Amino acid sequence: MFSPAKKILCLCLFTWFAAQSLASEEVNVHDNSRISIFLQPGVSFLSFDQREYFQDALDTIYHEFLTQALDKRDTQNVAKQDFQKVNFCFPLYAGLQFQLRQDHFVSVGAGYIYDNESVVVSDQNNRSHNYSYTIQGFPLFLEYRFAIPVNLMTMSDESLFSIALRWYWALPHTEIYTSWGKLSAETSYYGAGFGFSIGYLLFNWKSMYVFGDLGYSSISVKSKKQYADIVPNGPEEKAKWNIGGIQLQIRVSFGVWDMPIVEQDSTAQDSAAAPVAAPTAADGTEKTPAQKNESTDTPAATTPKAEERPKATAKENETPQKTE
């Protein structure tokens, strides 16, 4: 069962993520930061299949207490809690992000994974015994993130969706320590695993950008020790385990160096978009279409006034007479 604190944190994180997803319909911008720092909290379900070794050891201890009970009262005192069937934790990452070109990012980051599982077993004398195991990890990753092209997306007209590919290394102090012992993971120069996720730009404010990521990672490590060194009746072979798994992450990045923004010259646009005043008549009223056409046509020759016309001569006015 999950502890109350884990339930509250998980509920708050999922509620916040859902609320931001609903409000993200109006987001239509890109991350304009050339260099930025980021903080990435998340929720992860670890792919730790070796949890059954610890549950088997717990069941063995429980049955030993039962066999040591002398009467019914002692038997009723024996009780136990079981380890949870999933390893649920809240990893935290931080790092530096570079934007090579528009919507293409390269990131370097490191994180901390911590998952503690603790139970209590009561013996026949009603004394409590605590047993626990803790998974601790310090992963380092190199990430390449790129936006999905707009022509491949039908949900948005902007490149808000992105895909991230990661390669992990396990740093020192990646280990498992239990009530019976501790084993440390070996550090490999070639890396410890991979990861991928799909993200969405939820919103931005000034130089702050918030992405939501859902993905999977596989970070496999091994040790020179055996599980028999840290858990009763454990396998007598070199221990190996996985600290990756399904994860939901929120990346909050803060731009420290923004890309230059090219401003368009709006003078020509303003002059082209300026409305032309409608022509008006002499009395101040707007001209009719016919009047507008007359004003735009080539002006015809004006007829001379009556007083300016040349007077007809007497010969022109005389009526020709018939000859007899």
pLDDT at position 323 is: 44
Least reliable range by pLDDT among 18-32, 154-168, 235-249: 18-32
Tell me the pLDDT tens digit for each residue of 58-70: 999 999 999 988 8
Tell me the pLDDT tens digit for each residue of 139-149: 999 999 998 87
C-alpha gyration radius of the chain:
41
Query: For domain 35-258, which CATH number applies: 2.40.160.20, 1.10.1510.10, 3.40.640.10, 3.40.109.10?
Result: 2.40.160.20
233: Cβ contacts below 8 Å, ≥ 6 apart:
53, 56, 57, 60
pLDDT at position 74 is: 87
Q: Give the pLDDT mean for 304-322.
A: 49
Closest-CA residue to 148 (of 103, 101, 99, 215) = 103
Residue 140's beta-bridge partner residues? 110, 169
Which amino acid is located at 37 in the chain? Answer: I
Arithmetic mean of pLDDT over the chain = 79
Q: Is the pLDDT of residue 112 over 70?
A: yes
Q: What proportion of the chain, given as a percentage, has pLDDT over 90?
A: 50
40: Cβ contacts below 8 Å, ≥ 6 apart:
92, 93, 94, 95, 109, 111, 213, 249, 250, 251, 252
Going from N- to C-terminal start, the domains of the chain cover 35-258
**If pLDDT is split at 50, 70 and 90, which confidence band does 23 have?**
very low
Whether the CB-CB separation of 250 and 24 falls below 8 Å is answered with no
pLDDT at position 202 is: 87
pLDDT at position 245 is: 95
Tell me the pLDDT tens digit for each residue of 213-266: 999 999 999 999 999 999 998 998 899 999 999 999 999 999 888 776 655 554
pLDDT at position 2 is: 47
Q: Is the pLDDT of residue 185 over 80?
A: yes
First to last CA, the chain: 145
